[in-house]
Amino acid sequence: MDKSLIGKAKELEVASMLVDAGFYVFWPFVDKGYDLIVTNEEGRKFVPIQVKYRGEENTALALYKSDAVKFHGKEVFLAFLTGKQPNQKVWLLPFDKWEEMRVDRNRGDNLLYVTISKNEERLKAFEGDNGLSFLRAMFEEKK
């Protein structure tokens, strides 16, 4: 199957999850590294979201170094989906929180990653509904 179709389906899945949680979701006309833009009902703040998906149960939440450079210092959220239904896991976390946990092993594939098992306790704060609550709180504290 075409990976771009799977990627778009996962973007729609995350968008649906966000809409169900009360957020307003938009798609950028030009893809400059953000798959979705989210805001709340007030529409005073907009947060870009990058969606990443791995079909197999994954051991890490990975980004390319070039993406990490692009997101550094910006208020970007990352949505990671791993595994297939019904065992799929979803994390929604700010880039800076991911960056605090990430490691660089100078891999040939230029990936930086957060090992799930080594960061399990910290990642619980961003898994599933916890990640949505974290995003919601971010909008509430910056009114």
Domain boundaries, the chain: 3-141
Residue 45: DSSP 8-state: -
For range 20-43, the mean pLDDT: 93
pLDDT tens figures, 74-133: 999 999 999 888 889 999 999 999 999 999 999 899 999 999 999 999 999 999 999 999
The residues that bridge with 48 in the sheet, in sequence order, are: 37
Sign (positive or negative) of CA dihedral 44, 96, 141, 123: positive
Instruction: Give residue 115's pLDDT.
Output: 94
Between 27 and 141, residue with greater pLDDT: 27
For range 65-69, the mean pLDDT: 95
133, amino acid identity: S
CATH 3.30.70.2080, applies to 3-141: no
Between 5 and 74, residue with greater pLDDT: 74
Instruction: Give residue 31's pLDDT.
Output: 80
CB 82 within 8 A of CB 63: no
For range 32-60, the mean pLDDT: 90
Instruction: Give residue 138's pLDDT.
Output: 84
Rounded CA-CA distance 73/1 in Å is 35
Instruction: Give residue 5's pLDDT.
Output: 83
Sign (positive or negative) of CA dihedral 14, 60, 3, 35: positive
111, amino acid identity: L
* Distances in whole angstroms, Cα of residue 89 to Cα of each of 26, 107, 108: 23, 25, 27
* Distances in whole angstroms, Cα of residue 12 to Cα of each of 17, 23, 26, 28: 9, 14, 11, 13
Instruction: Give residue 49's pLDDT.
Output: 97
Residue 22: DSSP 8-state: T
